[in-house]
Amino acid sequence: MEIGIGAYVVLSAVLFTLGALGVMLRRNAIIVFMSVELMLNAANLAFVAFARQFNDVNGHLFVFFVITVAAAEVGIGLALIVAIFRTKKSINIDSMNQLKG
Amino acid sequence: MSEFDTLASYLSVAPEIGLTILLLIVLAFSVARREVERAAVPYIAGFGMIALAALPLIFAPGDANSTIPEGLYWGGMIRYDVLAQVFRVMILLAGGITALMASGVRGVGRRGEFYIVIIVATLGMSLMSASADLVMVFVALETTSIPLYILAAFKRDDTRSAESGIKYFLFGSFASAIMLYGLSLLYGFTGQTNIYQLAAFMGSDAFANNLVPVLASMVLVVVGFGFKVSAVPFHFWTPDVYEGAPTPVTGYVSVASKAASFALLVRFFVAVYPETLALSGESLQNFWIQLMAVFAVLSMTLGNVLALSQKNIKRLLAYSSIAQAGYTLIGVAAIQSQELSIASVGFYMFMYTFTNLAAFTVVILFSEATGSETIADLAGLNRRSPWLALAMTIALLSLAGIPPTAGFFGKFFVFNAAVRSGLTWLAVVGVLNAIVALYYYLVVIKVMYVDRSEDEDKPIPVGRQYVWVLWATSLIVIVLGTVGAQTVYDWAARGAMGLFT
Amino acid sequence: MVALSEFAPIGAMLLLAIVVGLLLLFISRILGPNKPTERKSAPYESGMKPIGPGTRRLPVRFYLIAVLFILFDIEVIFFLPWAVVFRKLGLFALVEMFIFIIILLVGYFYAWRKGALEWE
């Protein structure tokens, strides 16, 4: 049985929604960040599926760039989470309440 | 462009190449063994970026027969036109001024990394203002955002700075991920990544009934842009990040990042969802005009109302910047007045850049000298340092939109565009908001000039580079508010024309 | 039907890898000094104790190394599309890739100079 483009797009939409829910519901900064990565990869899946459909190389190319950008984000994200853990001894988002008003 | 014109291609990204070379020079100086060389880093970075601002003016985009004809370069990744030129000059000047502004700040000014990261962010913004391909849009946005996350958390031992950085990072990467999904949908509809080809493919007969998916892509992209320009309801990160980040960074994020995002926003929406594109009989432009109008009203109103009760000057400027994004969005919503709309956005961002940088320079000097960012502590500033108080007054009057400062013409052009495109009600809401905003700007001026404090005999030390920055920004604000307004507006209008052809 | 002979290079590669691996083990057995202690003969797990609870705190320095590793590692992804079109683009692609690598190298030397690669 051939798995059509529709299945991939639906899967990517499901992954994207799961990621978005993760960002909004979870409180651990690392889990939130992993959910963002899941959203980026959902978009990657969509790009690759569409690129295959159109038989076009641009979608694949886009994914290369998204992967590198995501890696840079991981670098910064981990460093920031380490920094916040050093100062607050917690990476729970609710503990980040010093700035408000 | 059919053939690969090497010289024109390289000249079309001359500022970016210049920034990369500057980056390598600064990188080398920042790890130099001798203290003298390391101390030169802020000036190399600052004056370097200001000098690079001349490049877009020297290598100006022209007609088909000139050295660099207006058009697409690098396989459609870059579109070099007058609009890109206007925003690049603005962004490079803002980057240079920020580097000079930062040089005297404790915990920031002596660290070479700071200037390296500022240059990378400026590079990203410069690319944003000329992006013409979905790939470039995403890469430029992230090249801008990622350095800004670092900058916000730059004083990493300070809990407030670290908290500001991580909040900015989590919200920012969430917004980029949402936007990226919108971009992937656009690619999925058309199989194209160049933003100037998307509309033609979406307008084809085969696509005529897919209104809902196209709207979904538009909403996802709007979330990303809404976050970047800190428009309500995507503004919630703004006050926290602005308050916690080191002050030069706050100034930089509030002007350069916003200007670059507006440059990309107008280019993107005019090209991808143009007036001619109608699906199921509905013009897509009408949808985003309504979205922008709603965001404009929400941003202005919420920003101004919340600013009224602020005690911290950085937080006040944060809410003020949300409101300013609202005024600019009026200009975007007025797109039916064609180049009047885009030109007013360009002018508004141009004047806002220098106005806000002047205000933040005063805030930096004050908080470095006194360690306070509270509005009440500004009392007696006029007797302590009359020139600082004057510079702050000019900046605040410009933010409020009082002549003879640039802010007056900024608001005038935006409201004019709104009226010309039949959105008179939006202009009225804008004027009402400007009146509310006047109150809290005047309160700060009153505190500086009327209130008394015990420290009035202690003047605020002002380094030489700050004197230059304050003179330059204040003069630009006054010139733009008087004789220079027409020139800059015409320049932005020429840029706007290029967007519709 | 794919001819088996098409897989010959892969087979040769496999064989070569096995031979080189065995050879290295064999040479080090002959030439290297051999003084086993309890620590040395324990299974190698990147310098961590192999037995104990699975969730324990890692020194924060690991994160720095991990961050640097990710950054330099992922850049290699751009070599892939570049390699595909390299012949078509010729000298231009080569020069561009050299510029790319030089910029990466500057970053690497900067990290080095800043002491990011020092363990202590």
Burial of B218 (0-12, 13-18, 19+ CB in 10 A): buried
Domain of A71, in residue numbers: 27-90
Number of domains in chain C: 1
CA distance A101 to chain C (A): 33
| B92 close to B126: Cβ distance less than 8 angstroms | yes
**Structure tokens given for B383:** 């007797």
**Structure tokens given for B273:** 């969802």
- With contacts defined as CB-CB under 8 Å, which chain B residues touch A58? 135, 187, 191-193
In the block, residue with structure tokens 């641009």: A58
Give domain limits for chain B: 286-501
**Structure tokens given for B410:** 């900024």
Cβ atoms within 10 Å, residue B385:
22
**Which residues, in sequence order, are bridge partners of residue B79?**
B72
Cα maximum dimension of chain C: 58
- Subunit contact A64:C63, Cβ cutoff 8 A: no
DSSP three-state, residue B79: strand
Number of domains in chain A: 1
| CATH number (domain holding residue A78) | 1.10.287.3510
Mutation to test the B interface, candidates C105, C108, C113, most B Cβ within 10 Å: C113
The DSSP H or E segment spanning B71 is strand B71-73
Per-residue pLDDT of chain B (501 residues; tens, 9 = 90+): 445 678 888 899 999 999 999 999 999 999 888 888 889 999 999 999 999 999 999 998 888 778 888 889 988 899 999 999 999 999 999 999 999 999 989 888 888 899 999 999 999 999 999 999 999 999 999 999 999 999 999 987 888 899 999 999 999 999 999 999 999 999 998 889 999 998 888 887 777 677 888 899 999 999 999 999 999 899 989 999 999 999 999 999 999 999 999 999 999 999 998 888 888 777 888 999 999 999 999 999 999 999 999 999 999 999 999 999 999 999 999 999 888 999 999 999 999 999 999 999 999 999 999 988 999 999 989 999 999 999 999 999 999 999 889 999 999 999 999 999 999 999 999 999 999 999 999 999 999 999 888 888 888 889 999 999 999 999 999 999 999 999 999 999 999 888 876
Q: What is the pTM of this model?
A: 0.90
The DSSP H or E segment spanning B80 is strand B78-80
Residues of B with CB under 8 A from a CB of A: 134-135, 138-139, 142, 146, 149-150, 153, 156-160, 162-167, 169-170, 173-174, 177-178, 180-181, 183-185, 187-188, 191-193, 239-240, 243-244, 310-312, 315
Query: Which is nearest to B15 in space by CA: B102, B140, B194, B110?
Result: B140
Whether A32 is in a domain gets the answer: yes
- With contacts defined as CB-CB under 8 Å, which chain B residues touch A86? 156-157, 162
Whether C85 is in a domain gets the answer: yes
Dihedral pair phi/psi, residue B268, rounded to 5°: -65, -50
Total residues belonging to chain C? 120
Whether A72 is in a domain gets the answer: yes
Tally helices (H) and strands (E) across chain A. Answer: 3, 0
Interface contact C60, partner A, CB < 8 A: yes
Mutation to test the C interface, candidates A58, A64, A81, A89, most C Cβ within 10 Å: A64
Query: Which stretches within chain C are classed as H helix?
Result: 8-31, 61-74, 79-89, 91-113
- Subunit contact B27:C106, Cβ cutoff 8 A: yes
| B74 close to B122: Cβ distance less than 8 angstroms | no
**Displacement of CA B249 from its chain's centroid (Å):** 13
Query: Which is nearest to B218 in space by CA: B161, B269, B159?
Result: B269
CA distance C96 to chain A (A): 17
Whether C65 is in a domain gets the answer: yes
Whether A21 is in a domain gets the answer: no
Domain of C87, in residue numbers: 58-120
| ipTM for the complex shown | 0.96
